[in-house]
């Protein structure tokens, strides 16, 4: 059974701090990795995708991938209360036609 694991949280950080969200996955052959954000009562929306080892930055968000350790993370710099949401890690296995496997999500709370 292919799995994606995340700490459920809640993760609480003060406004302006760096929030660090972590995810591990079981399928070593996975090639594509995604972070979705889900506000309470809303649907998930894609915020970052990463395909190669290393860091990928987009504004205040940085995704980090380490395939050897089967680990992917999301850093949110200068966290804002509007970042308070559940963050879902998703991993695609099985090649280009494989489906996403979602983690259960980490709830982030940014305190003013």
Partner 1 sequence: DVKVTQSSRYLVKRTGEKVFLECVQDMDHENMFWYRQDPGLGLRLIYFSYDVKMKEKGDIPEGYSVSREKKERFSLILESASTNQTSMYLCASRRTGMGGEKLFFGSGTQLSVL
**Closest CB to partner 1 among 77 and 104?**
104
For the CA atoms of 61, 35, 84, 73, the dihedral, rounded to the nearest 10 degrees, stands at -60
Among 19, 44, 62, 91, binds partner 1 (CB under 8 A): 44
Does residue number 76 form part of the binding site for partner 1 (CB under 8 A)?
no
Window 86-105: residues binding partner 1 (CB under 8 A): 88, 92, 96-97, 99-100, 102-105
**Which of the ranges 17-25, 41-49, 54-62, 65-73 carries the binding residues for partner 1, by CB under 8 A?**
41-49
Q: In sequence order, what E strands does 4-105 have?
A: 4-5, 11-14, 19-25, 32-38, 45-50, 54-58, 61-66, 71-76, 85-92, 100-102
**Closest CB to partner 1 among 13 and 100?**
100
Contact 78, 27 (CB under 8 A): no
Residue 102, φ and ψ in degrees, nearest 5: -100, 140
**Closest CB to partner 1 among 25 and 34?**
34
Contact 18, 103 (CB under 8 A): no
Residues that bind partner 1 (CB under 8 A): 8, 32, 34, 36, 42-46, 49, 88, 92, 96-97, 99-100, 102-105
């Amino acid at each position: 059974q292919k799995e994606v694991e995340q700490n459920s949280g809640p993760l609480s950080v003060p406004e302006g701090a760096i929030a660090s969200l972590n995810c591990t996955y079981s399928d070593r052959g996975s090639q594509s990795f995604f972070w979705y954000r889900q506000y309470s009562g809303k649907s998930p929306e894609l915020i970052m995708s990463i395909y190669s080892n290393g860091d990928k930055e987009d504004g205040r968000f940085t995704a980090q991938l380490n395939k050897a350790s089967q680990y992917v993370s999301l850093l949110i710099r200068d966290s804002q209360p509007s970042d308070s949401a559940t963050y879902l890690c998703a991993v695609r296995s099985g090649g280009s036609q494989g489906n996403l496997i979602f983690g259960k999500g980490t709830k982030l709370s940014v305190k003013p």
